[in-house]
Amino acid sequence: MLFRDRRDAGRRLARSLRAYGGREDVVVLALPRGGVPVGYEVARAIDAPLDIFLVRKLGTPGQLELAMGAIASGGVVFVNADVMQALGLPPSAIDTAVRREQVELERREEAYRGHRPRLPLEGRTVILIDDGLATGSSMRAAARAVAAQKPARVVVAVPVAAPSTCADLGREVDEIVCAYTPVDFAAVGHWYDDFTQTEDAEVQQLLQQAAEERTTRAVKR
């Protein structure tokens, strides 16, 4: 295993992002749920604000773990054309999946964010974080949705990724940081000793803790 858990992965990923430390223009956006413990450690290490960016995978009919695309905050839909073609899926399959996952996306937005406003992204350097990249569908949707908000720079950073996914996604963003790209990738969870599902309560707690720590550091300056 490469990492003990997601928090350990975040601390180790942060070493590759030191150049962004202490900059006022940097925002860390974590993909819930698994990306939040990783993003919390990165944001803490580089002293940047932490927020969430919601993405829901669009599972194929009968194989919900196999992504045929994803939706993200802001109404962006990414379709994995290769998966759609390989399985012979009609466009209506995407429409059905979008309707299903939109409900959960809106629930999580309310549950995680509460009354906290979204951080402004225009003109800023946005670091998008997840716990790993397999097909990359969720992160592609997130990157495209973030780009629509006119940031100065979009950076994708993950602890571990499939080599081909890292290379492909790197062509769509300004910078990609994949700390480890093992040739025998298999699956994201394969590289964690503890890959227990991150619960809503942990997401809420880490977001609140990150905000409080930022306030405390600002007062001490």
Nearest to 123 by CA among 149, 147, 151: 151
- Per-residue pLDDT at 30: 97
Whether the pLDDT of residue 103 is over 70: the answer is yes
Confidence of residue 153 (pLDDT cuts 50, 70, 90): very high
Does the domain at 6-54+116-220 match CATH 3.40.50.2020? Answer given as: yes
- Amino acid 200 reads D
Averaged over 59-64, what is the pLDDT?
79
Confidence of residue 221 (pLDDT cuts 50, 70, 90): low
Mean pLDDT, rounded, of the chain:
91
Q: Which residues contact 155 (CB under 8 A, 6 or more apart)?
A: 17, 20, 125, 126, 127, 128, 173, 174, 175, 176, 177
- Per-residue pLDDT at 167: 96
What pLDDT digit, counting tens, does each position of 172-214 carry?
999 999 999 999 998 999 999 999 999 999 999 999 999 999 8
Averaged over 130-140, what is the pLDDT?
91
Contact 25, 123 (CB under 8 A): yes
* Percent over 90 (pLDDT), the chain: 58
What pLDDT digit, counting tens, does each position of 9-30 carry?
999 999 999 999 989 999 999 9
Instruction: Give the largest Cα separation in the chain, rounded.
Output: 59
**pTM of the full structure:** 0.86
Averaged over 57-64, what is the pLDDT?
80
